Chain A
């Protein structure tokens, strides 16, 4: 079974600075998806960024980018120019690309605080 590990329960960063959240995963599959979701106090799970395992290029979405190291099974999220609205729980998630109903497997989460 696949597992996702986030080793940083909490992180903090000064507004406008850059922060990196870590994620590692374990799988024997070669084709899969990786995601970062954000959960603010409103509880809504919001997709931040996605990465297809077959793509070597790291995904970017505005201020958010990932460092995907497939061999190392590492998938970190970098947030540049941090803003107060970035404060939230961040979850790393894995989803198999195989057939059938493929669920999301989540890491434990990292609580990100933005200091003004």
Chain B
């Protein structure tokens, strides 16, 4: 198993600003993903964080809005850019191997005013 830590746990931000969420895994993982969970909803994949290369984004998500970095096998960041109230969500980092389950961080609750 892997233990995943996210920072910040929660934040309140002003419209038009950007916030970077950090994800740290306690062991090397092959795969890392970023999910969004809007209030009362299920989890939607934003992108796959690829080590040393550009992330792979799902339909409806773009790099300019959600730039992602993954410099090594244990760390990734997600930036939510030019935020609007519609970006208020929980953002979850997950990681794991090529097969089997994924492990999740505790999520970062973002509120945009």
A residues neighboring B (CB under 8 Å): 33, 35, 37, 42-45, 47, 50, 91, 95, 97, 99, 101-109
Contact = CB atoms under 8 A, between A and B. Distances in A.
Interface of B: 31, 33, 41-43, 45, 48, 50, 56, 90, 92, 94, 98-107, 109
Contact of B42 (A33, A47, A91, A103): A91
Q: Majority SS of interface residues in chain A?
A: loop
A47 B103 contact: yes
B100 A107 contact: no
A42 B104 CA distance: 12
Most buried by B among A45, A50, A102, A108: A45
Nearest to B49: A101
Contact of B90 (A43, A91, A103): A43
24 contacts: A35-B101, A37-B104, A43-B106, A44-B105, A44-B106, A44-B107, A45-B92, A45-B94, A47-B103, A91-B43, A95-B101, A101-B31, A101-B50, A101-B56, A102-B98, A102-B99, A103-B33, A104-B45, A104-B94, A104-B102, A106-B43, A107-B42, A108-B41, A108-B42
Given A44-B106, A101-B31, A33 B48 contact: no
A13 B98 CA distance: 36
Contacts of B48: 101, 103
B98 to A, nearest CB: 7
Contacts of B56: 101
A9 B90 CA distance: 20
Contacts of B94: 45, 104
Top 9 closest A-B pairs, CB basis? Answer: A45-B104, A43-B107, A101-B48, A106-B43, A44-B106, A106-B42, A108-B42, A103-B45, A47-B101
A107 B43 CA distance: 8
Contacts of A42: 106
Contacts of A97: 99
B77 to A, nearest CB: 18
A95 B56 CA distance: 17
B48 to A, nearest CB: 5
